[in-house]
Amino acid sequence: MKCSGKVWKFGSNIDTDAIIPGRYLNVTDPEELAQHCMENENPRFVQEAKEGDIIVAETNFGCGSSREHAPIAIKAKGVSCVIAKSFARIFYRNAFNMGLPIIESEEAVDGIREGHEVEVDLASGEITNRTTGQRYRANPIPPFMQEIIDDGGLMKHIAKGRS
Protein backbone atom coordinates (compact mmCIF):
# COMPACT_ATOMS: atom_id res chain seq x y z
CA MET A 1 0.00 0.00 0.00
CA LYS A 2 1.27 3.43 -1.00
CA CYS A 3 0.33 6.84 0.36
CA SER A 4 1.21 10.14 -1.25
CA GLY A 5 0.44 13.77 -0.60
CA LYS A 6 1.55 17.19 0.54
CA VAL A 7 3.34 17.46 3.87
CA TRP A 8 2.15 19.32 6.96
CA LYS A 9 5.02 19.60 9.38
CA PHE A 10 4.73 19.73 13.17
CA GLY A 11 7.19 19.88 16.08
CA SER A 12 7.95 17.63 19.06
CA ASN A 13 5.48 16.41 21.71
CA ILE A 14 2.33 17.04 19.67
CA ASP A 15 -0.07 15.89 22.38
CA THR A 16 -3.53 14.39 22.00
CA ASP A 17 -5.11 17.68 23.12
CA ALA A 18 -3.28 19.42 20.29
CA ILE A 19 -4.50 16.77 17.84
CA ILE A 20 -8.07 16.98 19.11
CA PRO A 21 -8.78 19.09 22.23
CA GLY A 22 -10.30 17.28 25.23
CA ARG A 23 -13.40 19.48 25.09
CA TYR A 24 -14.54 17.42 22.07
CA LEU A 25 -14.40 14.26 24.17
CA ASN A 26 -18.14 13.68 23.81
CA VAL A 27 -18.11 13.95 20.02
CA THR A 28 -18.22 10.57 18.31
CA ASP A 29 -18.76 11.60 14.68
CA PRO A 30 -15.39 11.26 12.90
CA GLU A 31 -16.30 13.99 10.39
CA GLU A 32 -16.99 16.46 13.19
CA LEU A 33 -13.77 15.50 14.99
CA ALA A 34 -11.88 16.07 11.73
CA GLN A 35 -13.11 19.68 11.63
CA HIS A 36 -11.20 20.39 14.86
CA CYS A 37 -8.08 18.34 14.15
CA MET A 38 -4.93 20.34 15.07
CA GLU A 39 -7.04 23.52 15.35
CA ASN A 40 -4.97 24.95 18.23
CA GLU A 41 -1.69 23.93 16.65
CA ASN A 42 -2.21 25.13 13.09
CA PRO A 43 -5.67 26.48 12.15
CA ARG A 44 -4.70 26.40 8.45
CA PHE A 45 -4.45 22.63 8.62
CA VAL A 46 -8.20 22.23 9.20
CA GLN A 47 -9.01 24.66 6.36
CA GLU A 48 -6.51 23.57 3.74
CA ALA A 49 -5.39 19.96 4.28
CA LYS A 50 -6.49 17.71 1.42
CA GLU A 51 -7.32 14.02 1.15
CA GLY A 52 -4.08 12.04 1.12
CA ASP A 53 -1.91 14.71 2.77
CA ILE A 54 0.81 13.52 5.13
CA ILE A 55 1.71 14.68 8.65
CA VAL A 56 5.43 14.79 9.47
CA ALA A 57 6.43 15.47 13.08
CA GLU A 58 9.45 15.36 15.36
CA THR A 59 9.57 13.17 18.52
CA ASN A 60 6.85 11.79 20.85
CA PHE A 61 3.89 12.41 18.53
CA GLY A 62 0.54 11.69 20.20
CA CYS A 63 1.62 11.91 23.84
CA GLY A 64 -1.13 12.20 26.44
CA SER A 65 -4.57 10.65 26.39
CA SER A 66 -5.59 7.11 25.42
CA ARG A 67 -8.69 8.44 23.67
CA GLU A 68 -8.92 7.04 20.16
CA HIS A 69 -10.34 10.41 19.07
CA ALA A 70 -6.78 11.43 18.15
CA PRO A 71 -6.07 8.85 15.41
CA ILE A 72 -9.76 8.92 14.37
CA ALA A 73 -9.66 12.71 13.84
CA ILE A 74 -6.45 12.48 11.80
CA LYS A 75 -7.78 9.64 9.69
CA ALA A 76 -11.16 11.32 9.13
CA LYS A 77 -9.33 14.49 8.02
CA GLY A 78 -8.07 12.36 5.15
CA VAL A 79 -4.44 12.15 6.27
CA SER A 80 -2.94 9.09 4.59
CA CYS A 81 0.10 8.60 6.83
CA VAL A 82 1.93 10.10 9.83
CA ILE A 83 5.73 10.05 9.81
CA ALA A 84 7.53 10.94 13.07
CA LYS A 85 10.87 10.36 14.77
CA SER A 86 8.96 8.62 17.59
CA PHE A 87 5.39 8.10 18.73
CA ALA A 88 3.90 8.00 22.20
CA ARG A 89 3.14 4.40 23.11
CA ILE A 90 -0.67 4.44 23.43
CA PHE A 91 -1.10 6.54 20.29
CA TYR A 92 1.11 4.06 18.42
CA ARG A 93 -1.18 1.14 19.29
CA ASN A 94 -4.36 3.14 18.73
CA ALA A 95 -3.29 4.29 15.27
CA PHE A 96 -2.75 0.70 14.11
CA ASN A 97 -5.99 -0.43 15.71
CA MET A 98 -7.90 2.37 13.95
CA GLY A 99 -6.22 1.66 10.63
CA LEU A 100 -4.18 4.89 10.44
CA PRO A 101 -0.77 4.12 8.94
CA ILE A 102 2.14 5.57 10.93
CA ILE A 103 5.88 5.06 10.56
CA GLU A 104 9.05 6.12 12.35
CA SER A 105 11.98 7.61 10.44
CA GLU A 106 14.48 10.13 11.78
CA GLU A 107 16.10 10.81 8.42
CA ALA A 108 12.76 11.39 6.68
CA VAL A 109 11.66 13.90 9.32
CA ASP A 110 14.99 15.75 9.06
CA GLY A 111 14.88 15.77 5.24
CA ILE A 112 11.26 16.73 4.66
CA ARG A 113 9.95 20.32 4.81
CA GLU A 114 6.40 21.63 4.98
CA GLY A 115 4.76 21.57 1.56
CA HIS A 116 7.02 18.86 0.09
CA GLU A 117 5.29 16.14 -1.93
CA VAL A 118 6.05 12.77 -0.36
CA GLU A 119 5.28 9.14 -1.19
CA VAL A 120 5.35 6.33 1.37
CA ASP A 121 5.48 2.63 0.56
CA LEU A 122 4.16 1.08 3.77
CA ALA A 123 5.11 -2.49 2.90
CA SER A 124 8.76 -1.76 2.14
CA GLY A 125 9.11 1.20 4.52
CA GLU A 126 10.57 3.35 1.74
CA ILE A 127 9.78 7.07 1.78
CA THR A 128 10.33 9.16 -1.36
CA ASN A 129 10.50 12.93 -1.31
CA ARG A 130 9.17 13.83 -4.76
CA THR A 131 10.07 17.50 -4.29
CA THR A 132 13.80 16.88 -3.63
CA GLY A 133 14.18 13.36 -5.04
CA GLN A 134 15.61 12.10 -1.73
CA ARG A 135 14.76 8.64 -0.41
CA TYR A 136 14.62 7.59 3.23
CA ARG A 137 14.19 4.32 5.16
CA ALA A 138 11.61 3.87 7.90
CA ASN A 139 11.89 1.56 10.91
CA PRO A 140 10.18 -1.67 9.90
CA ILE A 141 6.70 -2.39 11.25
CA PRO A 142 6.70 -5.62 13.34
CA PRO A 143 5.18 -8.49 11.29
CA PHE A 144 2.25 -9.13 13.66
CA MET A 145 1.31 -5.45 13.46
CA GLN A 146 1.55 -5.60 9.69
CA GLU A 147 -1.00 -8.43 9.95
CA ILE A 148 -3.36 -6.17 11.93
CA ILE A 149 -3.09 -3.50 9.23
CA ASP A 150 -3.53 -6.04 6.43
CA ASP A 151 -6.71 -7.28 8.12
CA GLY A 152 -8.05 -3.71 8.35
CA GLY A 153 -7.60 -2.97 12.04
CA LEU A 154 -7.68 -4.90 15.32
CA MET A 155 -11.40 -5.68 15.39
CA LYS A 156 -11.36 -7.26 11.92
CA HIS A 157 -8.11 -9.06 12.80
CA ILE A 158 -9.74 -10.65 15.85
CA ALA A 159 -12.96 -11.46 14.01
CA LYS A 160 -10.86 -13.24 11.40
CA GLY A 161 -9.05 -15.28 14.04
CA ARG A 162 -12.34 -16.42 15.59
CA SER A 163 -14.19 -17.26 12.41
Partner 1 sequence: MEQDLAYYYEVGQMGIEHALLPEQGIVVPGDLVIGADSHTCTYGALGAFSTGVGSTDLAAAMVTGELWFKVPETIKLIYRGKLRPWVGGKDLILYTIGQIGVDGALYMAMEFTGDTIDSLPMDGRFTMANMAIEAGAKNGIFHPDRITEQYVKGRARREYHFYKSDPGARYKEVREFDVSTVEPQVAFPHLPSNTRGISEVGTVTIDQAVIGSCTNGRIDDLREAADVLKGHKISPNVRLIIIPATPSIYRQAMKEGLFDIFLDAGSVISPPTCGPCFGGHMGILAKGERAIATTNRNFVGRMGHPESEVYLSNPAIAAASAVLGRLGSPEELGRKR
Query: What does the DSSP 8-state code read for residue 33?
Result: H
Which member of 8, 33, 74, 86 binds partner 1 (CB under 8 A)?
86
Which member of 50, 89, 113, 135 binds partner 1 (CB under 8 A)?
89
Nearer to partner 1, 99 or 111 (CB): 99
Least separation in angstroms between residue 104's CB and partner 1 is: 11
| Position 40 contacts partner 1 (CB under 8 A) | yes
Nearer to partner 1, 5 or 62 (CB): 62
Which of these, 42, 40, 32, lies nearest to 9 by C-alpha position? 42
How would DSSP label each residue in 79-147?
A: --EEEES-B-HHHHHHHHHHT--EEE-HHHHHH--TT-EEEEETTTTEEEETTT--EEEPPPPPHHHHH
Least separation in angstroms between residue 135's CB and partner 1 is: 27
| Position 107 contacts partner 1 (CB under 8 A) | no
Distance CA 39, CA 20 (A): 8
Which of the ranges 48-56, 62-70, 107-115, 119-127 carries the binding residues for partner 1, by CB under 8 A? 62-70
Distance CA 3, CA 6 (A): 10
Least separation in angstroms between residue 117's CB and partner 1 is: 29
Please state, in angstroms and as integers, the Cα–Cα distance from residue 153 to each residue in 63, 99, 118, 160, following that order: 21, 5, 24, 11
Residues that bind partner 1 (CB under 8 A): 13, 15, 17-18, 21-23, 25, 40-41, 59-60, 63-68, 86, 88-90, 93-94, 97-98, 144, 153-155, 158, 162
